[in-house]
Structure 1
Amino acid sequence: MNDTTKAAIAAHAIAEYPREAVGLVTSVAGVETYMPCANWAATPTEHFVLAGEDYARAEDMGEIVALVHSHPGAPPRPSAADKAMCEQSGIARWVIVSLGVQADGSIAVDDWCEFGPSGYIAPLIGRQFVHGVHDCYAIVRDWYRLERGVVLPDFERRDDWWDDGHSSLYLDNYRAAGFEDVGLGAELRVGDVLLMQVRSRNGVPNHAGVYLGDGHFLHHMHGRLSGRAVWGGMWAQCLRTALRYRGSE
């Protein structure tokens, strides 16, 4: 990036502090332009969400060559969620700018980092929750990719879709992902996807996990780290149905 682009990024990041700033660098006839975007994350001091409208606006301007975001008060190292989003984005160049409070009390840029897609998949255990990136459906997708070599389709999902009065992410899409509904009474097999309903105002399953065998399952609850849990108790009481993958048969 040239100095003009970096100066525009720095100014935007400082203006947004302590929120994470996000923007896109486009190339129009070989000339770089930085486009500041809005951060639509529910917790913008912790991560960012780029609106599809901003992405489309940048595409209309020219070729998108980089996605930029800031780390307020933190090093510019990409988090696991950053690396996962980079893999999903289709953008080959990601830039992080870190900001900190200086000795005189001002906010300024501390450092920069650039990275790109590398085939990264976060460990299945201990992920931080970021909806749409590291959530309960993401862990189902990644388990199937790592353990079965199966790439399940991703589905667009807004945060709090389970409380909007009409959405049903899992029931609407499981057939397209290659699963069949085997019901509540099925004898569970390794790889079965457990659909649970946990405080969903829509009255539909809004949480999923993968049965691992030996009475354990893998899942990622909102606001918690991903992990293994014992199958039974409250989880079994929340079960609405089980899905079995048939896509390869």
Structure 2
Amino acid sequence: MEQTTVDAIRAHAESEYPKECCGLVVVARGRERYVPCRNAADTPEDHFVIPAEAFADAEDLGDVLAVVHSHPDTSSKPSQADRVACEASGLEWHIVAWPGGDIYSFAPSGYEAPLVGRRFSHGVLDCWTLVRDWYARERGVVLDDIERKDLWWNDGKSDLYRDNFAARGGVVVPDGEPLQVGDVILMEIRSRNGVPNHAAVFIGDGKILHHCYRQLSTRDVYGGYWAACTRMVLRYVPK
């Protein structure tokens, strides 16, 4: 990056501190420039979200080269969520640590987060992401993503899993039918909407793979608390 771009990124990080800043590096009329964007994250767990309209406005200016955001009070080293999101964006990323101003740059390289031990980041590394990743890696099946805001299960109206499972090949498994590897177990865990808000994959030997809110993804024995929270079991049926 050009020094003027680096200076602009650091100035933006300083102005937004202690919040995360975010923006885009663009080439417009043969010149590189930094375009600061509004961080539209709903909660601290979202970290940063660049609004779709801001990205579109940047594309109107020129070619978008990179995504930028800051890491307040920590290093510029990318998190698992940063690496996953970078892969999805197809763009180079620059992370600036603030205070300090150190910048770490990286690009898509084929990174995949581990199925077990991944850190939670809603919409990037969460329970639905884990279900999708398991199906992609174990079955070669690509399940469509679901647009979702953090804490959607407390907004008084949303029922995302039950509203979307049929379109993604899920059929309800009758009560009492033995579980099969790959079955998706929907649970309700402290949902003010009273709807399923947590998904796990049955992986055999009485175990599930899942990723609870703000925790690491893990394997657990299915039963007890998890069985009590279960509201339905879905089975993927190819169309």
TM bracket, shorter-chain basis: over 0.9
How far does the alpha carbon of each residue in 1:59-98 deviate from its partner, in whole angstroms, 9 at most, with x for none?
23222111001122322221111001112223x2111122
Deviation at 1:183?
Answer: 3.3
Rounded to whole Å, the distance in 1 between the matches of 2:175 and 2:128 is: 20
Paired residues for 1:1-249 under 5 Å: 1-41=1-41, 42-43=43-44, 47-90=47-90, 92-100=91-99, 108-109=100-101, 111-247=102-238
Rounded to whole Å, the distance in 1 between the matches of 2:57 and 2:151 is: 25
Rounded to whole Å, the distance in 1 between the matches of 2:233 and 2:166 is: 13
Determine what percentage of the aligned residue pairs are the same residue: 55
Unaligned runs of 5+ in 1: 101-107
DSSP-derived class of the 2:36 partner: strand
Deviation at 1:164?
Answer: 1.5
Number of aligned positions between the proteins: 238
Q: Read off the aligned partner of 1:124 and give its amino acid letter.
A: L
Rounded to whole Å, the distance in 2 between the matches of 1:184 and 1:166 is: 26
Rounded to whole Å, the distance in 1 between the matches of 2:193 and 2:75 is: 40
Rounded to whole Å, the distance in 1 between the matches of 2:11 and 2:194 is: 45
Q: Read off the aligned partner of 1:93 and give its amino acid letter.
A: E
How far does the alpha carbon of each residue in 1:95-154 deviate from its partner, in whole angstroms, 9 at most, with x for none?
112233xxxxxxx41x22211112221111111111000111001011111211222111
How far does the alpha carbon of each residue in 1:224-247 deviate from its partner, in whole angstroms, 9 at most, with x for none?
111011101111111111111112
Rounded to whole Å, the distance in 2 between the matches of 1:183 and 1:117 is: 42
Q: Read off the aligned partner of 2:74 and give its amino acid letter.
A: A
Contact 1:94–1:115 (8 Å) recurs in 2: yes
Give the root-mean-square deviation of aligned CA atoms: 1.7
Contact 1:184–1:239 (8 Å) recurs in 2: no
**TM-score when scaled to structure 1?**
0.89
Rounded to whole Å, the distance in 2 between the matches of 1:184 and 1:236 is: 12
Q: 1:37 to 1:182 in 2, by over 3 A?
A: same
Unaligned runs of 5+ in 2: none
